[in-house]
Amino acid sequence: MALTLFDTDEYRPPVWKSYLYQLQQEAPHPRRITCTNELTSLVRRATLKENEQIPKYEKVHNFKVHTFRGPHWCEYCANFMWGLIAQGVKCADCGLNVHKQCSKMVPNDCKPDLKHVKKVYSCDLTTLVKARTTKRPMVVDMCIREIEARGLNSEGLYRVSGFSDLIEDVKMAFDRDGEKADISVNMYEDINIITGALKLYFRDLPIPLITYDAYPKFIESAKIMDPDEQLETLHEALKLLPPAHCETLRYLMAHLKRVTLHEKENLMNAENLGIVFGPTLMRSPELDAMAALNDIRYQRLVVELLIKNEDILF
């Protein structure tokens, strides 16, 4: 049955009444909407405008040019999307369809859907945690739990590499099964395979755990000689990280601090872990190879400082 904007209230969800009333006032003549998709688009637009008034952290939409089959309406302005090809853009994470020009006005309220988020590795960290409604990526939690359960006394923990084919096997298990992936001792007896899978996860992130935007501030902190000023700058740098990145970094540093408590057995102190994790967690935004090479010593120092001062900084 076709609905109009002026039908009885039973067709108007209460949360959208005020917006539909506004449309009635602005329209010179009653306009019938005979397509359910268009009515849904109007409702979505009302929700988007409502969300614009709520000041909270949101994820940016991952819009890509898209060719739609059949008639489609923009889910922001509710107008028809004209053309035969590339009529608009579609969010690869949540599926929102809008005009290209409307995409600049859509609020950063992407709520990733698991049917669009196909992988765990190589997936944006914020996208992954929002899609699975978790504080941190499940691969980080599961690997750290397994390592702390049976690997803290393993000599050369994180420094010694596991068999690369089995590390890839763990990666595929997480991509395929998510939190149901089996990384227990029955499947992978060598703990270095699990540490290798965790390091690979961080290396595969499209945006590093310590993001490109925050990178210069972290490097700046490593160059400061005064200890108090150094920690203050490092604390300011942490504030530049997206919440999901900061929470994951906090959890990882607390884990690495516990690793150093077993230094007599595993021979891994904060300096050694900094050498391993510096280039893993940080990547220079500079394309100049020499500049990136010069930053390696500061990357190591940043991670070392984060581990040693984990209880103060987070």
Digit-coded pLDDT (tens) for 183-237: 999 999 999 999 999 999 999 999 999 999 999 999 999 999 999 999 999 999 9
Cα angle for residues 285, 287, 290 (degrees, 5° grid): 105
For residue 12, pLDDT beyond 80: no
Q: What is the DSSP string of 20-35?
A: HHHHHHH-SS--EE--
Residues 6 or more apart from 66 whose CB is under 8 A from it? 86, 87, 88, 89, 90, 97
- When pLDDT is cut at 50, 70 and 90, the band that residue 122 belongs to is very high
Q: At what angle do helices 270-281 and 191-204 cross, to 10 degrees?
A: 40
For residue 86, pLDDT beyond 60: yes
Provide the pLDDT for residue 68: 83
Q: What is the rounded average pLDDT of the residues 291-304?
A: 92
Closest CA to 265 of 154, 105, 168: 154
Q: What is the rounded average pLDDT of the residues 265-271?
A: 97
Token reading at 50 = 């409502």
For residue 62, pLDDT beyond 50: yes
- Report the C-alpha gap between 127 and 129 in whole angstroms: 6
Provide the pLDDT for residue 39: 44
DSSP helix/strand/coil, 210: strand
- Report the C-alpha gap between 19 and 214 in whole angstroms: 39
The rounded Cα 164 to chain-centroid distance in angstroms is: 26
For residue 74, pLDDT beyond 90: no
SS3 content of the chain, % helix, strand, coil (to 5): 55, 5, 40
For residue 28, pLDDT beyond 70: no
- When pLDDT is cut at 50, 70 and 90, the band that residue 251 belongs to is very high
Q: Which residue has the higher pLDDT, 274 or 114?
A: 274
Token reading at 106 = 């859509």
Q: What is the rounded average pLDDT of the residues 9-38?
A: 43
For residue 29, pLDDT beyond 80: no
Q: Which residue has the higher pLDDT, 69 or 296?
A: 296
pTM: 0.71
For residue 65, pLDDT beyond 50: yes
Provide the pLDDT for residue 58: 61
Share of the chain above pLDDT 90, in %: 57
**Strands, E assignment, the chain:** 3-4, 32-33, 63-66, 88-91, 97-98
Strand partners, 234: none
Domains of the chain: 58-116 (3.30.60.20), 138-309 (1.10.555.10)
- When pLDDT is cut at 50, 70 and 90, the band that residue 36 belongs to is very low
- Report the C-alpha gap between 213 and 147 in whole angstroms: 31
For residue 293, pLDDT beyond 80: yes
Q: What average pLDDT does the structure give for the chain?
A: 83
Provide the pLDDT for residue 291: 79
